[in-house]
Amino acid sequence: MNLPKLISILVIFLIINSCATKNNENELKNKIEKIISTENGDFGVSIIDENNNIVEINGKKHYPLLSTFKFPIALTILHKVEKRELSMQQQIFIKKEDLLENTWSPFKEKHPDGNISISLEEAINWMIVYSDNNLTDILLRLLGGTETVQKFIDDENFVIKNNEDEMHRDWNSQFINKSTPNSFAQLLKKFSEGKILNSENTKWLYQSMVKSETGVKRLKGKLPNVKIAQRAGTSFTNDEGITGAINNVGIMELPNNQKIYIAVFVHNTSEEFSKGEEIIADIAKTTYEFYTKK
């Protein structure tokens, strides 16, 4: 077979393959659109596979991050550990006045009087596994503030300006930190592929996210036996019954050792909170079944 003919066959094959991939993406997108079509709220979804094929709904639109911003914070800290500017075993003294009231803080419940030293590794664990807001702000102060995280992430689609205390000041303050579903899913992929941290710290943070105890009714809600490294984010519900954000981002492991990177943001929904979580669970289950079937 001569070279021109071989090239023509290859081009035809690539076109057919591209069309098949596009059809698959449209099939999954249609399924997800059906899930959210009868629900109240603003939905942003991004799903990226290992070949960088993407299924998106409002993927380029900005959504409030809430506690999903703890993942970029952890990346920034571990990068500084690699540069030996910080150490996982260095001690952090937690003063009683650091433990604010009226915020989500399992650490405060366990140590209400504070005045205790813990390692940096323990502090990150409280932030990622238990989503502790007080420890998050303590770690941000250690970094020098949100500006350090913003600079490290270096993505114009990420806005990280408010710490947890600032996010709790009023309804609108919780929406300052934001990102697009596409950018967050790409960040997860880049992290998982070892392009942000070294292998040791990538593995450590990944396992911490697998053990996360918040948002377990969302991506994992209908996939109890599927390994998902995830981070949730949750806002207030106001007097009008509007929940500002019910978020979940994560890395979903498939049986064939491949991974799916998924970011789901539910913004300003009037649905019951449990229903908002179930919507995310339905999207995750549909995604998992689609890729395992394929």
pLDDT digits 0-9 by tens, 51-73: 999 999 999 999 999 999 999 99
- Please report the sign of the dihedral spanned by the C-alpha atoms of residue 158, residue 161, residue 165, residue 171: negative
Instruction: Give the pLDDT confidence score for residue 56 in this predicted structure.
Output: 98
The question of whether 117 is a catalytic residue gets the answer no
- Please report the sign of the dihedral spanned by the C-alpha atoms of residue 157, residue 66, residue 36, residue 47: positive
Give the global pTM.
Answer: 0.91
Q: What is the fold of 40-293?
A: Beta-lactamase (3.40.710)
CA angle 211, 215, 217 (to 5 degrees): 105
- SS3 assignment, position 14: helix
Q: Which of 46, 67, 179, 212 is catalytic?
A: 67
In angstroms and rounded to an integer, the radius of gyration of the C-alpha atoms of the chain is 20
Q: What is the mean pLDDT of residues 213-233?
A: 97
**pLDDT tens digits, one per residue of 186-197:** 999 999 999 999
The question of whether 67 is a catalytic residue gets the answer yes
Question: Nearest-CA neighbor of 37 among 279, 233, 244?
Answer: 279
- Contacts of 33-38 with CB under 8 Å at 24 or more apart are 33/57, 35/279, 35/282, 35/283, 35/286, 36/279, 36/283
- Please report the sign of the dihedral spanned by the C-alpha atoms of residue 281, residue 286, residue 287, residue 291: positive
Q: Which of 56, 105, 131, 164 is catalytic?
A: 164
Instruction: Give the pLDDT confidence score for residue 25 in this predicted structure.
Output: 76
Q: What is the mean pLDDT of residues 123-141?
A: 98
Tokens of 203: 């593995």
